[in-house]
Amino acid sequence: MSKDSAPEGKPGGTPEGVLEGIKEKLVRTKELWAEQGRLLTGTAGDPERDRLPPGQRLVTDWPVLDLGIQPAVSEAAARLDIDGLVEAPLSLSWAELMALPQEERRNDIHCVTQWSRYDNDWRGISVTDLLARARPRPEARFVTMESHDGYTTNLPLADLDRPENLLATHWEGQPLTRQHGGPLRLVVPHLYFWKSPKWIRRITLIPDDRPGFWEVRGYHDRGDPWKEERYS
């Protein structure tokens, strides 16, 4: 995975001024994998029976994967907005986030590039809690999420509004490091890890699906690892 950290050329096909300096070669490689259906085993997994989804292998380290931009987001600059189709839009500062109940979760994570890591201990803020405060309107069916590096990803609202999901600030008792998305990242453990934005800035509730960075580049719209939903 460390070969992913080499800086590459300029981005192509991205909005002006956004995602400048991303690892374009890495992005192209992954797009090609998606076209070719690389890494697919063609077997369905059963979460009741197996702990490891099909085609995954277990790692004990924690690989770093991103577009090559790791924004330095200070706690003073950290802010989370929940907006769009909600009755009570939220724009929370770090202090306001810290004043909310801090919860813990333990879960397994699964990256589409085939690594899985068991028993990650997180601390942070409950997503269902925050959504309840923002009060989604009935027309809200999907979310689009934005991060400080320009990354975007999408989810059905039902996949975001699950009790195991967490807006994580800590991992194994320590503040989440910058490389893993600190100070604030989302963790959605039941889907491939590209659905868990690092350096999260905004969650917008919308009526219709809006594919994000990887989803427009051939990745699956939902990304269930048990169904091997790697690519569209």
Q: Which residues bind ligand MTE (CB under 6 A)?
A: 62-67, 111, 147, 149, 151, 180-181, 193-194, 196-199
The least CB distance from residue 112 to Mo ion, in Å, is: 5
Q: Which of residues 181-210 bind Mo ion (CB under 5 A)?
A: 194
Residue nearest to Mo ion (CB): 194
Part of the chain binding Mo ion (CB under 5 A), chosen from 43-51, 71-79, 96-104, 110-118: 110-118
Q: How far is the CB of 194 from Mo ion (least distance, A)?
A: 4
Nearest-CA neighbor of 163 among 196, 135, 138, 130? 130
Strands 166-171 and 174-175: antiparallel
By a kind-dependent CB cut-off of 5 to 8 A, residue 105 interacts, out of Mo ion, ligand MTE, none, with none
CA distance 28 to 126: 35
Distance CA 48, CA 31 (A): 32
Q: Per rule CB under 5 A, is residue 213 in the interface with Mo ion?
A: no
Detail the DSSP E strand segments found in 103-156: 103-110, 115-126, 142-147, 152-156
Considering only 22, 34, 92, 111, the residue that binds Mo ion (CB under 5 A) is: 111
CA dist 113 and 135 (Å) reads: 35
